[in-house]
């Protein structure tokens, strides 16, 4: 294991991009170590190794950007249980790691919808962001939530306050738009909820609702024109 870890770190160093790592640090991503590798490079490294939960866990514990990303490719999804998924989600340091976790690992978990539903109602910023991004990924694969979870998702957005950080608001907006792509009935139901907000909410809520209403017009006229007859 130690030999493999040393080999991986050597490959990170050899591919280091100082310009990228400096730029990310200036934007507030203060990893202890950041080699600035691109996703294609990290994916190429991942392809050199057989997925292994123990190796992935070692990599995840490292305070190194590329190690955490690589871990998401190498942890076998069929070996990750809900408790381990929860642990990883709570340890995510930045949104870009959340995105990679959702794309490479969480999306493959049989309990992904359950976890996404839990996370969007969390009081922790990174969990809410991860939950919305995971829902987005799931629905891109036509893995839509049932009606109970759907209502929980919409409620989580309606309950956002004005202090919600912008990355979470954007993730939530994209998530609701994706939900509306399920069918015209869902799109109309969602639009009806937010139409009320567009009339009674504060300025931020009204802007959010207006985006949803515009998406409904897109769904009605472009995605499901025959269903509106």
pLDDT in tens, 45-56: 999 999 999 999
Cβ neighbours of residue 104 under 8 Å, at least 6 residues apart? 72, 73
pLDDT tens readout for residues 50-104: 999 999 999 999 999 999 999 999 999 999 999 999 999 999 999 999 999 999 9
Other beta carbons within 10 angstroms of residue 32's beta carbon come to 9
Q: How many Å apart are CA 78 and CA 188, to the nearest integer?
A: 37
Q: Average pLDDT in the 150-178 region?
A: 93
Quickly state the pLDDT bin for 228 (edges 50, 70, 90).
low
Q: What phi and psi, each to the nearest 5 degrees, are found at residue 81?
A: -95, 170
Q: How far is CA 75 from CA 141, 167, 218, 219, in A?
A: 21, 27, 39, 37
Q: What is the pLDDT of residue 149?
A: 96
What's the mean pLDDT when you consider all of the chain? 94
Each residue's pLDDT tens digit, 182-222: 999 999 999 999 998 898 888 888 999 999 999 999 999 99
Using pLDDT thresholds of 50, 70 and 90, give the confidence band for residue 226. confident
CA distances 82 to 58, 86, 111, Å, are 19, 6, 7
Whole-number Å distance between alpha carbons of 96 and 209: 27
Distances (CA, A) of 22 to 28, 35, 114, 117, 134: 10, 9, 37, 35, 29
- Give percent of the chain with pLDDT exceeding 70: 98
Cross-strand pairs, 33: 64
Strand partners, 64: 33
The length of the chain, given as a count of residues: 229
What is the predicted pLDDT for the residue at 128?
Answer: 98
Rounded to two decimals, what is the model's pTM?
0.93
User: Is 28 a residue whose pLDDT tops 90?
Assistant: no
The domain ranges of the chain are 1-75
At residue 33, φ and ψ (nearest 5 deg) are: -135, 135
- Res 163: pLDDT: 81
> Three-class SS of residue 64?
strand
Please give the Cα distance from 18 to 228 (Å, whole number): 54
Q: Predicted confidence band at 227 (pLDDT cuts at 50, 70, 90)? A: confident
Question: Are the C-beta atoms of residues 228 and 184 closer than 8 Å to each other?
Answer: yes
Is residue 101 within 8 Å of 89, Cβ to Cβ? yes
pLDDT of residue 229: 54
């Amino acid at each position: 294991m130690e030999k493999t870890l040393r080999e991986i770190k050597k490959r990170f160093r050899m591919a280091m991009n100082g310009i990228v790592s400096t730029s990310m640090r200036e934007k507030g991503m203060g990893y202890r170590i950041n080699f600035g590798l691109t996703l294609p490079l990290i994916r190429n490294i991942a392809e050199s190794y057989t997925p292994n939960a123990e190796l992935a866990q070692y990599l995840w514990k490292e305070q190194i950007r590329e190690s955490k990303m690589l871990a998401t490719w190498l942890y076998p999804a069929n070996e990750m249980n809900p408790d381990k998924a929860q642990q990883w989600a709570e340890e995510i340091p930045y949104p870009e790691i959340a995105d990679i976790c959702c794309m490479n690992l969480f999306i493959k978990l049989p309990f992904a919808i359950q976890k996404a539903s839990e996370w969007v109602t969390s009081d922790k910023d990174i969990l809410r962001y991860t939950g919305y991004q995971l829902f987005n990924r799931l629905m891109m694969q036509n893995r839509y939530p049932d009606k109970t979870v759907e209502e929980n998702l919409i409620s989580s957005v309606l309950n956002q306050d004005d202090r919600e950080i912008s990355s979470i608001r954007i993730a939530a907006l994209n998530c609701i738009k994706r939900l509306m792509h399920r069918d015209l009935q869902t799109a109309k139901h969602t639009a009806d909820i937010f139409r009320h907000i567009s009339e009674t909410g504060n300025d931020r809520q009204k802007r959010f609702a207006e985006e949803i209403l515009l998406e409904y017009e897109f769904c009605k006229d472009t995605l499901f024109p025959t269903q509106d007859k």
